[in-house]
Copies of this chain bind each other. A is one copy, B any other.
């Protein structure tokens, strides 16, 4: 994954900043950053409302941005930090990108990819879950509480 002076917690904090930007824009508050050799090469948050586009999840935008930055289709040496468990669309996209490591905060018990039986992520992808989970989850619960 390359050397980094920062911890997973640090980068999840950057993903949380993105999630907070989403909340401020009245978007579902999910944020993501992609890190390569200790450097953030892509950062994104959900933009489905602004773009009127169901594919504009934080992870999808971040994958496209990271591949554009690297000029490469595969992200085997990268780590994505995302505040909420990816949905099946994003997990399968991370699979196509052969993402090296996926670190997510809170689980998504309704739409998370782990509800699906079958390979979505690449078999070599490392997965870490539960990082800063309560901070990640509370952004979501606050957001949907206000919607009711």
Residues of A within 8 A of B (CB): 48, 51-56, 60, 63-64, 67-68, 71-74, 87-89, 92-93, 95-97, 115-120
Interchain CB contact (< 8 A) of A54 among B53, B73, B87, B117 = B73
Q: Contact between A88 and B118 (Cβ–Cβ < 8 Å)? A: yes
Task: Determine the chain B residues whose CB is within 8 A of the CB of A53 once the complex forms.
Answer: 63-64, 67-68, 73
A122 shortest CB reach to chain B, Å? 11
Please name all residues of chain B whose beta carbon is closer than 8 Å to the beta carbon of A63 when the two chains form the complex. Answer: 53-55
Number of copies: 2
Chain B residue at minimal CB-CB distance from A115: B118
Whole-angstrom distance between the Cβ of A67 and the nearest chain B Cβ: 5
Identify A52's interface contact among B60, B73, B87, CB under 8 A: B73
* Complexed CA–CA distance, A87 and B52 (Å): 23
Select the residue from A48, A54, A71 with max chain B CB neighbours within 10 A.
Answer: A54
* Interface-central residue, A93, A115, A118, by most chain B CB under 10 Å: A93
Q: Which of B52, B72, B92 contacts A92 (CB 8 A)?
A: B92
Given contacts A54-B67, A67-B54, A73-B48, contact A92 B88 (CB under 8 A): yes
Give the complex CA separation of A98 and B112 in angstroms: 17
Closest beta carbon of chain B to A50's beta carbon, Å: 11
19 residue pairs from A and B, CB less than 8 Å apart: A51-B68, A52-B67, A52-B68, A52-B71, A53-B63, A53-B67, A54-B67, A54-B73, A54-B93, A54-B96, A54-B97, A56-B64, A87-B92, A88-B92, A89-B95, A89-B96, A116-B118, A116-B120, A117-B118
